[in-house]
Amino acid sequence: MAEGRRIVLGVTGGVAAYKAAYLARRLIERECTVRVVMTESAQEFIGSATFAAITGREPVTTLFGSEDVSPHTTLGQWADAIIIAPATASTISKLAAGQTSDALVATVLASRAPVVIAPAMHTEMWDQPATVANIDRLRAYGYKIVEPEVGALAGGDVGLGRLADPEAILDAVDGVFPVRDMDALRVLVTAGGTREPLDPVRYIGNRSSGKMGNALAEVAAERGAEVLLVTAADPPDRSGVEIDRVDTADEMAASVWGRASEYDVVVMAAAVADFKPRITESGKIRRADGAPTIDLEPTPDVLRGVRGMSPRPFLVGFAAETGSLEGAAAKAREKDVDLLVANDVTTPGAGFGSDTNKVRFVFRDGSTEDLDLLPKREVASMIWDTVLRLREES
């Protein structure tokens, strides 16, 4: 929720700039501290005195000449979130290019805070390929776009491009502050693809990048959970997640089996090798010795070991399938998991290494729910929402 947060409100030059004053008022009602940054053209549409009166502070209108020698870095570092409403095509284009020619774009670039952008412009401008590409780029940067609506535009025109309703913008701002609904929960997440050594330089591995497991760990930590990530991939760069870095299926099994009983939920997002070389050569296998025959043996089934524990943590399995998810329900039954998250790794955008995923939830009763193609963080959020709901129902 946005309550009590420090918000930078960026106002750019469009007829909807007057609505930004209402937005500022609504934020103040929610006990936010609001600092306004106006572009030069915004000042053609609304006076800075309006915002000064609402927020109790003079808006920042220029990078130079104020008491603060570096207003963009001061505000960028201070902000819990930045809202730009209305956002013109020009400001959107500057943001997409990272071009810091005014105080507002400079503030966004000098900040690590989440950014919510509410565009407003004529339909023709919104539909321009340049604007479409810029908006796509901002989405890829992680900015939240609150799409414009159909309505009255400047000059008496009507069409798509009117600033979204201020309440919809406020909802989007709420959405960037994660709810701490996992405060009392301890979760263990596995991630990455294990590597089974053939010799000191070679291994049998798989294409898993660890991104899905990392997203699960990060989102759970943001929502307040105590998180252990047992990973065979590069871990996320954030505090609040305990990391146990492993390589092989045996190491993953030892780590997970040693710790799982301390946890309320175990999510097995790792792509664990099913087989490993029976022998790991101590020296490099030489080409001159001819093509080797590699004898394989099964690895431990990590998930099965957790399933047999008492008390048993709430157990989420993953199923990486190719071509069809028809077998997922049988796998969920066979694995006896509380929730199975299945994906077809051959679907564009859902494969290993991708930042997005398209998954199917398979529940204990065999029912399923198909999610859209979403960023892995959003998939992670929906997995945790579902875990919380199922635990409450059980």
Pattern 244-263, binding to ligand CTP, x per CB under 6 A? Answer: -----x--------------
* Cβ closest to ligand CTP, residue 221 vs residue 303: 303
Any idea what DSSP says for residue 294? P
Specify the residue, 314 or 318, whose C-beta has the smaller distance to ligand CTP.
318
- Residue 377 one-letter amino acid: R
Q: For residues 318-337, which are near ligand CTP according to CB under 6 A?
A: 318-320
Tokens of 268: 């097995």
Compute the distance between CA of residue 288 and CA of residue 5 in angstroms, rounded to an integer.
67
Q: Whose Cβ is closer to ligand CTP: residue 185's or residue 303's?
A: 303
Residue recorded with tokens 């209108």: 61
Q: Do the Cβ atoms of 215 and 377 come closer than 8 Å?
A: yes
Count of chain residues binding ligand CTP (CB under 6 A): 13
Q: What is the DSSP string of 74-96?
A: HHHHH-SEEEEEEE-HHHHHHHH
Exposed, middle or buried, 4 (CB in 10 Å: 0-12/13-18/19+)?
exposed
Task: Give the binding range for ligand CTP (CB under 6 A) out of 29-37, 110-118, 266-274, 368-376.
Answer: 266-274
Contact status, residue 40 vs residue 184, Cβ threshold 8 Å: no
Yes or no: say if 220 and 263 are a contact pair by the CB < 8 Å rule: no
Per CB under 6 A, the segment of 34-42, 233-241, 269-277, 350-358 that binds ligand CTP is: 269-277
Q: Does 370 bind ligand CTP (CB under 6 A)?
A: no
Alpha-carbon gap, residue 196 to 198, rounded angstroms: 7
Q: Is the dihedral of CA 81, 87, 89, 94 positive or negative?
A: negative
211-250 footprint of ligand CTP as x/- string (CB under 6 A): --------------------------------------x-
Known active-site residue 357: no
Interaction between residue 299 and ligand CTP (CB under 6 A): yes
268 lies in the binding site for ligand CTP (CB under 6 A): yes
The active-site residue, picked from 206, 214, 343, 357, is 206
Please identify, using beta-carbon distances, which residue of 143 and 318 lies nearer to ligand CTP.
318
DSSP state of 371: P
State how far the Cα of 301 lies from the Cα of 272, in Å rounded to an integer.
Answer: 8
Q: Indicate whether 302 belongs to the interface with ligand CTP (CB under 6 A).
A: yes
Stretch that binds ligand CTP, among 46-54, 65-73, 154-162, 300-308 (CB under 6 A): 300-308
Q: How far is the CB of 319 from ligand CTP (least distance, A)?
A: 4
- Rounded CA-CA distance 321/123 in Å is 42
Closest CB 352 distance from ligand CTP, rounded Å: 12
DSSP string of 310-359, one letter each residue: SSPPEEEEEEEESS--TTHHHHHHHHT-SEEEEEETTSTTSSTT-SEE-E
Minimum CB separation of residue 345 from ligand CTP in Å reads: 10
104 Cα distance to chain centroid? 25
297 counts as binding ligand CTP under rule CB under 6 A: no
Distance CA 59, CA 303 (A): 56
Q: Which stretch binds ligand CTP (CB under 6 A): 135-143, 154-162, 172-180, 316-324?
A: 316-324
Among 247, 251, 264, 301, binds ligand CTP (CB under 6 A): 301
- Binding site residues, ligand CTP, CB under 6 A: 249, 268, 270, 272, 274, 299, 301-303, 317-320
Catalogue the active-site residues: 206
